[in-house]
Amino acid sequence: MELSLVGVGHSYDRTDVLSDITLDIPGGRILCIVGPSGCGKSTLLRLIGGLERPSRGQILQTGRVPEGCLNPLTYVFQDFALLPWRTVEGNVRLALEDHRLPKGETDRIVTDVLSRTRLSDFRTALPRQLSGGMKQRVAIARALAVNPAVMLMDEPLSALDAQTRELLMDDLVALWLRAPFTAVYVTHNLTEAVRLGHRIVVLSRRPGRIAEVVDIKTDLAERRADDPDLVRHQSHLWDVMRDEARAADQELING
Ligand SMILES: Nc1ncnc2c1ncn2[C@@H]1O[C@H](COP(=O)(O)OP(=O)(O)OP(=O)(O)O)[C@@H](O)[C@H]1O
Ligand SMILES: [Mg+2]
């Protein structure tokens, strides 16, 4: 399934948060959205996910949802959003409970996503027994369980330390290489964006408009932190972001 945003804008009361966003979200690719704090990244994700209706413009869905898709637009949040009293397996099953699948099918899906996220040995663990990185792997397993058409990821690695972030980036790349999924991935972190994104969209300060779109051709499997192409992309993206972030700070100071 592909999504297209056409002239999308959004306002809360009288505050303009997003303006004139026209953007294609291609199937089977990871689209990263970066931009200064408060520029409307999470709002954009909520609009794409249908949690809010855009004040202006349209969000169009084309193409078919994948076979076995139980929830076309599925979120992964920064804070994992796990139920603390449920085991790893119980948290993943939660995503399937409303769908009345045959028991064997539910078991098959749970086993498959726990294996893909390397959590098979932790089925019976409770969230409090897990590291932050593992908790986020549970949240990712739960999202994958419904085979979404598009995963909407809001700073999924931001609550994790740098080393865990690295490992989770490797995990996400491995998951994508095994079964390419479509994702809109919001992050502050340009290292994540150039490591994971096929396309990177930089939003301007609020009201967020598209300041830059960069397509990265290097295969996800081939991306190395010191790759000159990626370093060049990252430094260019930072130039665009820095100008926007500085201007946003200045506006805050000046009221
Ligand atoms: N429900 C709401 N009602 C009113 N204003 C809101 C609401 N949600 C967000 N805003 C405002 O809209 C603007 C954009 O918020 P949003 O959370 O989308 O930005 P963001 O880019 O995700 O920020 P951050 O980088 O801090 O995560 C902010 O000024 C925020 O205060
Ligand atoms: Mg946000």
Q: What is the mean pLDDT of residues 126-131?
A: 96
Instruction: Say whether pLDDT at 132 is over 90.
Output: yes
65, two tokens: 């949802």
Q: How far is the CA of 30 from the centre of ligand 1 (A)?
A: 23
State the residue for tokens 């995963």: 151
Q: How far is the CA of 240 from the centre of ligand 2 (A)?
A: 19
Pocket of ligand 1 (CB under 6 A): 12, 17, 35, 37-43, 206
Neighbour tally for 152: CB within 10 Å: 25
Q: What is the pLDDT of residue 53?
A: 96
Question: Taking a C-beta distance cutoff of 8 angstroms, is the pair 146, 101 a contact?
Answer: no
State the residue for tokens 């992309």: 233
Question: Which amino acid residue places its CA nearest to atom 23 of ligand 1?
Answer: 38
133, two tokens: 């990185």
pLDDT per residue over 58-69, tens digit each?
999 988 888 889
Instruction: Say whether pLDDT at 247 is over 90.
Output: no
Q: How far is the CA of 110 from the centre of ligand 1 (A)?
A: 34
pLDDT per residue over 4-36, tens digit each?
999 999 999 989 999 999 999 999 999 999 999
Q: What is the pLDDT of residue 169?
A: 94
pLDDT per residue over 41-56, tens digit each?
999 999 999 999 999 9
* Mutation probe of ligand 1 site: the residue of 8, 14, 17 with most atoms within 8 A of C-beta: 17
What protein residues have CB closer than 5 angstroms to ion ligand 2? 41-42
pLDDT per residue over 86-125, tens digit each?
999 999 999 999 898 999 999 999 999 999 999 999 999 9
Q: How far is the CA of 42 from the centre of ligand 1 (A)?
A: 7
199-203 and 210-215: which strand pairing?
Answer: antiparallel
Question: Taking a C-beta distance cutoff of 8 angstroms, is the pair 132, 154 a contact?
Answer: no
Instruction: Say whether pLDDT at 249 is over 90.
Output: no
- Give the integer Cα–Cα distance in Å for 82 and 79: 8
